[in-house]
Structure 1
């Protein structure tokens, strides 16, 4: 049976990657699609309330929009340890505890651009929120305020800088590791591939309109980790086969190496995707966004390890041989 020629598709891969990167840059400079930062990176208020009875995320979200005038609020149920609570949180988004993230600052007046309503302060928002809870259910009320904290724009900007620095340190560390463990000609393609993955995942986040918050930063770093894992396995097989297949051309040897690890790489990605797909469908609004980006990032990382890293290694070797000749 004839093996698939992975490297023959390298120009298709190059084209897809370049087009994807161009689209990411265009999205970044397009107002309708530019990066939307969450409370963690933009500034805002995070509230953690415990109610006297379970209530759905959708109802809280609707109250925040219609009664408090906060159109863009993230509402997430948390597990409280009650009997049956885990199933309610996962399948229905119902819980006694809610984490609410909004754009307004606790001590400043805020006018929502979508609803046109004004929130004068956290106290004003709380009064409207409590009144709306009574209107929804006369027995429903906030039993305990677990946390009310605000992050100012300056702190949000600092966190954005720290997030970018975290990604940079991760990429630099990987560059040094691959250089030390393999060769420099493996490290540069691996670094290009990781930069490619980060940029395309950021483009996906902008395209689908997700907010970039701490969970999305976790996705970026996780994708980098999974992608470099696939890359290291491929590089290790290339190094081993280079010693064994001395009569074969470098092109054929790399192709054979890809064929040998392809099934392992795909199976690893598929087994990781299964729980992510479950989270996407049953994890609620907050976790579904996390899972959707992870699914895309995992596929992107697998693709880049095969169709970006390996062709670049062959290209490097070709120029190396020409330089020697």
Structure 2
């Protein structure tokens, strides 16, 4: 019964609903059945309708045979290996496993000697008839500009909060959001950062808010110094509530110039130019702050 059920499943997947696989994008096919002529058949991996295979191969459940490739004469394709293009893999001593990829017009011939392609090995040409071929996963190297853009994206989504503490209660004092962008096509490390600060307080279960403040400055990532994450001075042990913080400012004694726009108690806007004591970022969640700290550190390193 098990044999008949697996055969029926294979037939249905082949003729009724064409299967697809992310390993072979844009291709339709079916799922191979290993040992289909025995009492213990088992489901194998994806095979494209255009591929040419023989009944005596072994195809692992997560492996795939794509394109116009050919796999025959007892070859074994296991792990998450992919055969594609016009590649050929044949012979009982041929094995492609791991995350290996055999594509293009590459030839793997295990008719006489054992030949294994494993790890993250990829080939698109040549003949492989003996030996073991392996490679580590290729890690994509980010460009300096990508590191900077990754930090800008993160801080533009970041919100910072600060609290005041009275006896056994805490009150929300300010909440800040940020807008940052690159402003010099000749120097991607030059940044304009604006902190949008809104004063808030929690009263009778409702959040009251009043005058906004905009703090804007222009600086170069090459010139800033980043301080480590620490527990804020607003530390309240009673309910185990901690605020985490880190800051950054310019190296040495250079002041960080900022343009401050704020509302007075009457609602009128005032503009002022000030020397800032750096930018301070707060969060209840240390992990959020750690991620931002890492991204800023990488952006600064990319600029030096």
What TM bracket, shorter-length normalisation? under 0.3
User: Which has the higher Rg, Structure 1 or Structure 2?
Assistant: 2
Q: Which protein, 1 or 2, shows the higher relative CO under an 8 Å CA cutoff with sep ≥ 6?
A: 1
Relative to the length of structure 2, the TM-score reads: 0.22
Which structure is higher in helix share? 1
Relative to the length of structure 1, the TM-score reads: 0.21
Which structure is higher in strand share? 2
